């Protein structure tokens, strides 16, 4: 499965809208197991992404992902900026070689694992990215894949990030980074026209 430049830009624009519309929900999720600012941080990043894309039309996919990466790294506080930034930067490098969406998302996910020194099952955004990458590879990407991956984080005990300080008390709450990642992939589904 591939996305051209126009559709990829539309994907990012829809992601921006979803985060902006759900900033307070992301903050609430983060208040339960973090420091309560994931939504505000992400909204700042989304404003930076919009600003960067309005100033210069990306020439290709690599440039688009790179623009998103740098906007996130520069404007999103906490761990989310470096994590999303790494994912999109790695996707940018990969986009010079392939436009295959499954490969791009997997490379982004691998970047998250490397940067966060984490993996599936640790109650992080990887718990959404990895199932999505796998479903894109097997061609059964759907809203259910995203929802199931997100909801699975609720019963996990966080072993990475700020939520890990809560240990068992982190159980019973959705991971905020997984929720913002779910918005990213819900936006992708809209572009793909599910």
- What domains can be seen in the chain, in order of their start residue? 5-192 (1.25.40.340)
**Cα–Cα–Cα angle for 97, 102, 106, rounded to 5 degrees:** 85
Q: Enter the pTM of the model.
A: 0.96
Cα separations (Å) of 13 from 78, 87, 91? 22, 17, 17
Structure tokens at 7: 């559709």
Looking at residue 117, the DSSP 8-state letter turns out to be T
In this prediction, residue 6 carries a pLDDT of: 96
Structure tokens at 143: 């809203």
CA distance 104 to 146: 17
Give the pLDDT of the chain (194 residues) as one tens digit per residue: 899 999 999 999 999 999 999 999 999 999 999 999 999 999 999 999 999 999 999 999 999 999 999 999 999 978 899 999 999 999 999 999 999 999 999 999 999 999 999 999 999 999 999 999 999 999 999 999 999 999 999 999 999 888 888 889 889 999 999 999 999 999 999 999 95
CA distance 130 to 183: 15
SS3 call for 24: helix
């Amino acid at each position: 499965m591939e996305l051209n430049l126009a559709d990829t830009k539309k994907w990012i624009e829809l992601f921006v809208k979803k985060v902006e519309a759900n900033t307070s929900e992301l903050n609430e999720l983060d208040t339960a197991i973090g420091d309560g600012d994931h939504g505000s941080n992400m909204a700042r990043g989304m404003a930076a992404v919009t600003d960067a894309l309005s100033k210069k039309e990306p020439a290709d996919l690599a440039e688009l992902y790179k623009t998103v990466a740098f906007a996130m790294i520069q404007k999103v506080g906490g761990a989310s900026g470096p994590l999303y930034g790494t994912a999109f930067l790695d996707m940018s490098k990969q986009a010079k070689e392939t436009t295959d969406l499954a490969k791009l998302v997997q490379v982004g996910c691998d970047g998250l694992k490397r940067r966060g020194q984490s993996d599936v099952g640790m109650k992080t955004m990887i718990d959404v990215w990895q199932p999505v990458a796998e479903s894109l590879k097997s061609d059964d990407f759907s809203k259910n894949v995203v929802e199931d991956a997100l909801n699975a984080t609720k019963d996990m005990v966080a072993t990475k990030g700020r939520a890990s300080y809560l240990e068992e008390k982190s159980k019973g709450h959705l991971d905020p980074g997984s929720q913002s990642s779910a918005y990213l992939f819900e936006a992708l589904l809209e572009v793909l026209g599910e």
